[in-house]
Amino acid sequence: MRSLIRLILAAALTAGTVLPVAAQHDPASSKPKKGDPDEVVCERQEILGSRLASKKICMTRAQWEEQKRSDRDLVSGSQLKRCNGTIGC
């Protein structure tokens, strides 16, 4: 029983000291920041009118934000537009 506890303790101590040191010296492990605007993010979007089909769209975070802003402006513009009697509603 004591040897099992010693083994677990030794593994915990070595894992805590070896991993951070290896991560500090490895320049290839530098991941992009969570809010990095140049990071490419992919989303799977359903195709309108189909229950099963979907497509994968990949854009940078900045492009996704611009797309959301454009969609929001389009919706708010159409909601604020008044009905014209000659064109119809």
Question: Which domain covers residue 68, as residue numbers?
Answer: 32-81
Q: Taking a C-beta distance cutoff of 8 angstroms, is the pair 42, 54 a contact?
A: no
What is the DSSP pairing of strand 40-46 with strand 54-60? antiparallel
- The pTM (predicted TM-score) of the whole model is 0.52
CA–CA separation, 58 vs 38, rounded Å?
12
Can you read off the two tokens belonging to residue 85? 């009697």
Half-sphere exposure of 67 (CA within 13 A, CB side): 9
Residues 23 and 42 in one domain: no
Are residues 10 and 46 located together in one domain of the fold?
Answer: no
The 10s digit of each residue's pLDDT in 23-72 is: 444 445 555 567 899 999 999 999 999 889 999 999 999 999 999 999 99
Of 87, 35, 22, 88, nearest to 61 (Cα)?
A: 35
Whether the pLDDT of residue 3 is over 90: the answer is no
Specify if 59 maps to a domain.
Answer: yes
Q: Is residue 63 within 8 Å of 37, Cβ to Cβ?
A: no
Number of domains the chain is built from: 2
Asked if residues 10 and 3 have their Cβ atoms less than 8 Å apart, the reply is no
Does 58 lie in the same domain as 18?
Answer: no
User: Same domain, yes or no, for 22 and 47?
Assistant: no
Residue 88 within a domain = no
Residue 89 resides in a domain: no
